[in-house]
Amino acid sequence: MLRFQHTEYLLALAAIPVLVLLYFLALAWKKKTIKKIGDERLVKELIKNYAPQKFAIKFLLLVTAFAAGVFALANLRSPQGSEKVSRNGIDVMIALDVSKSMLAQDVKPTRLDRAKQVLGKLMDRLGNDRMGIVVFAGKAYLQMPLTGDHGAAKMFLSSATPDVVPTQGTVISDALKMCYTSFNAKEKKYKAIVLISDGEDHDEEAAALATRMASEGVIISTIGIGSVDGSTIIEPGNNEPKKDNEGNTVITKLNETALQTIAANGNGIYQLYDNTETVVSKLERLLNGMDQRSVTEDSLVNYKSFYQYFLLLALLLLIADVFVSERKKISMPKNSFALKVFILLLPSSFFLLPSFAQSEKEVIKKGNKAYENKEYEKAATEYKKAADKNPANATANYNLGNALYKSSKTDDAVKAYENAAGSAADKTDKSKAYYNKGVVLQNNNKLPECIDAYKNALKLNPQDEDARQNLQKALQQLKKQQEQQKKDKQKNKPKEDEKQKEKEKQDQDKKQQPQPKPKISKKDAEEKLKALLQQEKNLQDKLRKTDVASPNKPDKDW
């Protein structure tokens, strides 16, 4: 489908009516000037070689050349290749436990790090399947909806930490429910869930829920990560073993029984993590053996531009205007040989423009090939060559941002996405560039900047649920960060305030004069003493009743 890249330049066509008006004003001026001369025979003699038709032709050539130049600036283009990609696959939702118990080091370096490694390798193996991510602890959150973009899925996976879920615990049933709502409710197959957890603090509802979901065609497989003997949890802040409210060291243990029951009820398999390759291979065989259906998705394509043909037309029209005279009889101007050579050489040299555009596309193709081979630095080099040749090439800048992010050059990746958003004509392409910019900034904990990026993406594409989910998450993280900063500020108040208060108190004590004690009788003193003793007895009784009614029960936060 043909489409202009820079539609804003088409506004210049509004100048054509102005040019037409000037043309008619020029005709009126000529007629008025002829009448001023007066002598009709003299006027005919003076303008006998004038051809009004050729004046109109010259004007038409100039206006057409102007319009062709505007179309060249707007750059008419069409997508190269297919805009849709069809593939056979299933929908796989990943439920990842990010509770603090996953920081235990009985599986090195930690249970969570090893779980991410397993899931990352699984994403590489399931190239044709759509994948989504749910993270859970005391609550479950949709980290990423189902998508075929496994690169984006890995980016979200890398940012999964216990900090993303404020409520601690292990509510597997909530995670299963969140996964189920992410599937297409109309389909009774092609759906699978991979749950990876230590199973600690397991809720009884999960096993029954797995049975109901299996009846709806969902296959649930579980991976147990950790040891039955258990391990301590190392706090990230102080590198000390975590303790409960009573001061006892916390020991977190793998609950294999719960995870085995969920897998059995969900018609899937349970695996105890021992080796990444073994676990991934078994899961791959299970998922590839399921019924698959055809899925069609949009694909980012390169474009073929036609601006050079409009520019060539404009130049040819301007050259033709040079040879069209308002006189009936014309002669070739001086230096005509040089002008002829120029006219002959100009079109042939101009047809070299498509070859320059073609070389630009070839460079992008080289970058795509290197990117597919995971040679991200080489891919970034090729994309940068294309972007340097044509800074307005949105595809080159977008792909450059992806390659730079994969090369851990996040600041450069953000700049590339900004360039892609600035040069992209299509709103969807602009939205994708802003979305990727937001993901990179969010992973770098630059929350205000990433929030602006997600907002820009949603303005261009209000239907982008990924951007909406990430925006909500970033706003929650920013709020939590601001609250923490406020607490730290209150905690670290300057000691000078306390000294000032102490000084004011001392000054006030100096001003107060001691009052003489009033003289009371022995009987009054005994009555007051009895009253004080009774008050103290009543207070002690009240405290004992409170202790019995409210026993201390430590809260679990891992």
Q: Do both 242 and 319 map to the same domain?
A: no
What pLDDT was estimated at residue 190? 83
Name the DSSP letter for residue 495.
H
What does the pLDDT look like over 425-474, one tens digit per residue? 888 888 888 999 999 998 888 889 999 998 998 888 888 888 888 888 88
- What distance in Å separates the CA atoms of residue 389 and residue 361, rounded to the nearest whole number? 11
What pLDDT was estimated at residue 338? 46
Would the CA dihedral through 249, 206, 143, 471 be positive or negative? negative
How many residues belong to the chain?
Answer: 558
Q: Do both 156 and 108 map to the same domain?
A: yes
Q: Do both 145 and 285 map to the same domain?
A: yes
What pLDDT was estimated at residue 15? 92
- What distance in Å separates the CA atoms of residue 475 and residue 478, rounded to the nearest whole number? 5
Enclosing H/E stretch for 91: strand 91-97
0.85 cut: is pTM over it?
no
Helical spans, DSSP H, in 393-494: 394-406, 410-423, 427-443, 447-460, 465-491
What does the pLDDT look like over 188-207, one tens digit per residue? 788 999 999 988 765 678 99
In a domain, 338, yes or no: no
Instruction: Name the nearest CA neighbour of 62 among 309, 431, 341, 315.
Output: 315
CATH assignment of the domain containing 430: 1.25.40.10
Q: Do both 157 and 280 map to the same domain?
A: yes
pLDDT exceeds 70 at position 367: yes
Q: Do both 385 and 411 map to the same domain?
A: yes
Q: Do both 205 and 318 map to the same domain?
A: no
What does the pLDDT look like over 490-535, one tens digit per residue? 776 655 566 666 767 666 665 554 444 455 566 666 676 677 667 6
Taking the CB of residue 367, how many other CB atoms lie within 10 A of it?
28
| pLDDT greater at residue 546 or residue 188 | 188
Q: Do both 359 and 347 map to the same domain?
A: no
Q: Do both 127 and 161 map to the same domain?
A: yes
| Number of separate domains in the chain | 3
Q: Do both 60 and 196 map to the same domain?
A: no
| pLDDT greater at residue 186 or residue 111 | 111
Would the CA dihedral through 202, 208, 211, 215 be positive or negative? negative
pLDDT exceeds 70 at position 291: yes
- What distance in Å separates the CA atoms of residue 250 and residue 343, rounded to the nearest whole number? 87
| pLDDT greater at residue 542 or residue 381 | 381
Mean pLDDT along residues 260-280: 93
What pLDDT was estimated at residue 133? 94
CATH assignment of the domain containing 131: 3.40.50.410
- What distance in Å separates the CA atoms of residue 374 and residue 245, rounded to the nearest whole number? 48
DSSP string of 282-328, one letter each residue: HHHHHHHTS--EEEEEE----EEE-HHHHHHHHHHHHHHHHH--SBS
What pLDDT was estimated at residue 282? 93
Q: How many helices and strands in the chain, by DSSP H and E?
A: 20, 13
- What distance in Å separates the CA atoms of residue 558 and residue 555, rounded to the nearest whole number? 10
Amino acid sitting at position 259: L
pLDDT confidence of 228, banded at 50, 70, 90?
confident
Instruction: Name the nearest CA neighbour of 166 among 439, 444, 478, 477.
Output: 477
What pLDDT was estimated at residue 390? 86
Most confident listed range (18-27, 41-50, 288-297): 18-27
The phi and psi torsions of 175 (rounded to 5 degrees) equal: -65, -40
For residue 515, give the 3-state DSSP assignment.
Answer: coil
pLDDT confidence of 236, banded at 50, 70, 90?
confident
User: Residue 24 belongs to what domain range?
Assistant: 3-81+303-326+343-351
Mean pLDDT along residues 218-235: 91
- What distance in Å separates the CA atoms of residue 48 and residue 361, rounded to the nearest whole number? 57
In a domain, 516, yes or no: no
Contact 233, 200 (CB under 8 A): no
User: Picking from 14-23, 57-66, 469-478, 509-518, which range would have the lowest pLDDT averaged per residue?
Assistant: 509-518
Instruction: Name the nearest CA neighbour of 89 among 282, 376, 308, 284.
Output: 284
What pLDDT was estimated at residue 352? 44
Q: Do both 263 and 127 map to the same domain?
A: yes
DSSP string of 396-409, one letter each residue: HHHHHHHHHHHTT-
In a domain, 322, yes or no: yes
Beta bridge partners of 77: 3, 305
Contact 252, 198 (CB under 8 A): yes
Q: Do both 268 and 128 map to the same domain?
A: yes
What pLDDT was estimated at residue 485? 81
In a domain, 48, yes or no: yes
Q: Do both 115 and 257 map to the same domain?
A: yes
